[in-house]
Amino acid sequence: MPTRKTTKKSELAQAGEHLSTAAREVGTALTHKVEAFGDAMSASVKETRKRVEKQRDEAKVKVGKLVKMAEAQVKSAQSRLKKASAAAQKSIASAEKQLEATRRGASRKLSALQTSAERKAKALQKAVDKEAAALKKAAKAPAAKKTTGKKAAVKPAAAKKAAPKKTSTKAPAKTSAKKTVKKAAKPASKKPAK
C-alpha cells in the first residue's frame, strides 16, 4: 500500500517548534533582564556620579570659602600691620619733636642762665671797681694830708691788691671792701701820731 503524505506535523516537530519558541522567549526574557540590569547599573552609576560630583562641588565651595576667609584674614592682618607701623612712626616722630623741643628749651635756659650770670658778674665787677675806687680815694685823702708822697704810694698799692678779689655774692664783696678800708684807715691814723 502506498503511504500517504500527511501535512500534519509530527508531535516531535511540534515539540521542537515549541522548544525553539520557548528558547526564543527565554532569550528575549534574558535580554530584557540583562538590559534592565544594565539600565539599573547605569542609573546607579549615574546616581553615584551625581553624588560624587555634588560632593566635589560642595568641597569646591567649602575650599573657596576657606580661601576667601584666609584672604580676608591676610588682608585684615596687613591692614593692622600698616596701622601699627603708622602709629609707631607717629609716636617716633612725636618723640623726636619732643626731644627737639626739650633740646631747644634746655639751650634757651642755658643761654638765659649764662647771660644772667654774665650780667651778675659784670655788676659784681662794677661794684668791686666802685669799692676799689672808693678805697683809693679814701686812702689818698688821709695819706696826702698827713704823710709824705712815699708813704702815699704804698697805700694805693695795697688798695690795688685788695680790689682784684672777686666774690660770688655782693654782700661778701662789700664786707671785704669795708675791712680793707678800715685797715687802710688805721695805719693812716697811727702814723701821724709819731
- Range of 129's domain? 121-193
How far apart are the C-alpha atoms of 92 and 95, rounded to whole Å?
5
Q: Which residues contact 178 (CB under 8 A, 6 or more apart)?
A: none
On whether residue 141 sits in a domain, the answer given is yes
Q: Which of 142, 125, 127, 126 is nearest to 181 (CA)?
A: 142
Residue 164 resides in a domain: yes
pLDDT tens across 104-127, in order?
999 999 999 999 999 999 999 999
CA dist., res. 99 & res. 179, Å (int): 51
**Model confidence pTM above 0.75:** no
Rounded Cα–Cα distance for residues 34 and 22 (Å): 18
pLDDT tens-digit map of 150-169: 554 555 555 455 444 544 44
The DSSP 8-state label assigned to residue 4 in this structure reads P
Q: How many domains does the chain have?
A: 1
Q: Determine, yes or no, domain membership for 153.
A: yes
Q: What pLDDT was estimated at residue 188?
A: 44
